[in-house]
Amino acid sequence: MTTSNGTAGRDPRGLAGRTAVVTGGAQGIGAAVVERLCAEGAQVLVYDLSAEHGEAAVARWRERGHAVSLAVGDVTDEQALAAAFAGLPDDWPAPTLLVNLAAGFVFKGIEATEADWRGALDPTIVGLSLATREFLRHLPEHDADAAIVNMASISAHIAQRGYLTYNTGKAAVLGFTRCMAQDLAARGVRVNSVSPGTVWNANNERFHREALGLDRATAEADPEHGGKFLLGRFADPSEVAAPIAFLLSGDASFVTGTDLPVDGGYLAV
């Protein structure tokens, strides 16, 4: 079969053998994305601030036979980003998949200082832009299969008390995604975002235990916490990785410029 985008005869999901870059891939949702992409047959460059978590995760993945490389750096550091892309293994094809997950976790209201705002917005928006620019520099000029997924959040869509800095950054991710989708469409690059609800990763597990005294089952039974989602629970990281893999894949070949809520129905009501 010949298709108008020239994908005749290709693996319909199209991720096997391709190179992906995942910022913030050393832990949490990012680590689940790396595992999912590896399971689909991609090779992955993890770009992360944490050498400790990155090295441990990459060692674990390599033991399982996954093709994973690590570059330690901040998404706001142009030189480190350039070095990371330049240092990709020679036998990997140029990256055509990018997942921007690194973000500034600063939760402040209007009392936020300049430093707070920079801590929130620099990684979430400036870093997102710099990582995307570096990715585009290495992308073949015409690639009908290239795709970018940016990490938004339900926080991009709603107001949450005391979350001014974080939610402003996540709302900007939606605007960034739409503009990039328009600018890159002619190059064949699709750009989308996902908006998860609360994901049960190590940090959230620690927060609920230490700050609220709640284990997962108790927190999910609470209408203020997991109970606020229509499905009555938190997401597992793999449940966010799966829709990201879909948006990167050929199955989403006519999807661009949009946001996919992965929120257990939270934004529906």
In three-state form (DSSP H/G/I as H, E/B as E, the rest C), the secondary structure along 186-251 is: HHCCEEEEEEECCECCHHHHHHHHHCCCCCHHHHHHCCCCHHHCCCCCCECHHHHHHHHHHHHCHH
Of the candidates 153, 192, 193, 256, which one interacts with ligand NAD according to CB under 6 A?
Answer: 153
Segment 208-267, which members bind ligand NAD (CB under 6 A)? none
Tokens 């009555």 appear where?
232
Distance CA 257, CA 172 (A): 13
- Dihedral of the alpha carbons of 150, 154, 157, 159, in degrees to the nearest 10: -130
User: Binding to ligand NAD by residue 40, rule CB under 6 A?
Assistant: no
Provide the minimum distance between the beta carbon of 196 and ligand NAD in the complex, in angstroms, as a whole number.
Answer: 4
CA–CA dist 84, 81 (Å, integer): 5
- Please, what is the minimum distance in Å from the beta carbon of residue 227 to ligand NAD? 15
Contact between 81 and ligand NAD per CB under 6 A: no
C-beta separation of 129 from 52 below 8 A: no
Residue 151 is a binding residue for ligand NAD (CB under 6 A): yes
When CB distances to ligand NAD are compared, the closest residue is 28
Number of other residues whose CB lies within 10 A of the CB of residue 72: 17
Nearest to 261 by CA among 243, 241, 236, 245: 243
Tell me: does residue 103 bind ligand NAD (CB under 6 A): yes
Least distance in angstroms from the C-beta of 158 to ligand NAD: 12
Q: Is 166 a catalytic residue?
A: yes
CB closer to ligand NAD, 199 vs 250: 199
Whose CA is closest to 169, among 101, 244, 117, 100?
117
The interface region with ligand NAD, picked from 8-16, 22-30, 84-92, 113-121 by CB under 6 A, is: 22-30
Burial tier of 108 (Cβ tally within 10 Å: 0-12, 13-18, 19+): middle
Q: Which is nearer to ligand NAD, 14 or 47 (CB)?
A: 47
If one asks whether residue 48 binds ligand NAD (CB under 6 A), the answer comes out as: yes
147 or 194, CB closer to ligand NAD?
A: 194
* Positions that interact with ligand NAD (CB under 6 A): 23-24, 26-30, 48-50, 53, 74-76, 101-103, 123, 127, 151, 153, 196, 198-199, 201, 203-204
Catalytic sites, residue numbers: 166
